[in-house]
Structure 1
Amino acid sequence: MTTAFLRYRIKQLRKSRKPLPSKSYSDAQSVGIVFTVKGMERHNAVKQFISELKEDGKKVEVMTFLPESTENHEFLFDYFTKKDISITGRVKSQELKDFMDKPFDFLICVDPDPNEYLLFLLAGSPAACRVGRYTENQQPYFELMTAAEETPSAADFMRQLINLIKNLKNQ
């Protein structure tokens, strides 16, 4: 898919998004996690992050973007590739479509710098609260962002994210 078409489709999805009311972490039941496959450090950090969420009683689902020529470690998580999104921005993968349609209480992007394919997923999600790293150009994709001046390690970044959502209270 060409970048121009994908950016146009992302813009359309952002405009049509109707967010759900958000919940506090203690009231949340479902958590979605998205990330790009990028080495064993991130893979292991995601597994630890999932364990912590499950210990708190959360139902966790994961979708990962698998770039070309990248190994899918352990095949633990559902994944999609750029071939799963058509040139017009239509989702071809039923697994990706089902994931994008789920109204998660929190949808957490554990990539400090998400690629356009993850931004596409985030823009099309009806999640109540999308969580990620603060960067000026990515504000439209997240309701809740953590500031990280330097790119943290995968484990440190996920620790920041979990602390952020655990301290979230309904007003």
Structure 2
Amino acid sequence: MILKGFKEKSIKKYLNKILSERKIYVDDSKVESLGVILNIDEVEDFELFRNLATFLRVRPNKFKIIAYSPTKSEKPNFWEVCFNSRDIGWYGSIKNIELQSFLDRPFDALISYYTSDEVELRLLTGLSKAQFKIGILQKDERLNDLIIKTNKEEFKVFKKEIFKYLTILNKLNNE
């Protein structure tokens, strides 16, 4: 139990270092690839995110979701990659190859759809190589470039707001 606390503290220290060195650069490049990080305990319907990707005109092969499960028990799911705290080591080292490939992929946009204050979720958002990060209201505002203040249950509002702001920022294809 004590080691778990030390491990979490080492991850938080690494996350603070990443966020303090983060350079924010928003350009008008179009959103053609989309990644989603979510907490499996907070989201019931996986298809909402597929529909969002289709709505934003992101092709299925350029869309990827990873889900975090805070409990060690496996749930039957349709997530592409599901991980838990065992996949993250001391000082934020990633032990899961699929998870590392997700983080290394330079998505045009990343959606962090979680409200829980899990250090693992925050670390993944911070480590992602995505150009533009979007999230719902979280404790650490340094994680995302665009924060949409909605409840996680109000997905329709979230979808409408994403479309509105990505249109304003000229990040959507008009084709």
TM tier relative to shorter chain: 0.7 to 0.9
TM-score norm. by structure 2 comes to: 0.77
Residues 1:73 and 2:74 aligned together: no
* Larger relative contact order (CA 8 Å, sep ≥ 6): 1
Pick from 130, 146, 149: which aligns with 2:148?
146
Deviation at 1:170, TM superposition (A): 4.1
Contact kept in structure 1, 2:33 and 2:58, CA below 8 Å: no
C-alpha RMSD over aligned residues: 2.6
Match of 2:86 in 1: 83
Match of 1:57 in 2: 58
Matches within 5 A, 1:96-107: 96-107=99-110
Deviation at 1:96, TM superposition (A): 1.0
Of 160-169 and 83-92, the range deviating more from structure 2: 160-169
Query: What SS class does the counterpart of residue 162 from structure 2 fall into?
Result: helix
Pick from 31, 37, 51: which aligns with 2:40?
37
Of 11-20 and 114-123, the range deviating more from structure 2: 11-20
1:73 maps to amino acid: N
Contact kept in structure 1, 2:33 and 2:63, CA below 8 Å: yes
CA deviation map 1:125-157 (0-9, x unaligned): 12111100134x321000111123xx3415335
Deviation at 1:88, TM superposition (A): 2.6
Count matched residues.
163
CA deviation map 1:32-53 (0-9, x unaligned): 1110112662434334334434
5+ residue gaps, structure 1, are none
| C-alpha separation in 1, matches of 2:28 and 2:117 | 24
| C-alpha separation in 1, matches of 2:27 and 2:88 | 28
Match of 2:135 in 1: 132
Structure-2 change in CA distance of 1:22 and 1:108 (3 Å): farther
Identical counterparts, % of pairs: 20
1:138 maps to amino acid: D
CA deviation map 1:67-98 (0-9, x unaligned): 22351423x32121110111232111111111
Pick from 13, 22, 30: which aligns with 2:18?
13
| C-alpha separation in 2, matches of 1:165 and 1:102 | 23
Contact kept in structure 2, 1:20 and 1:127, CA below 8 Å: no
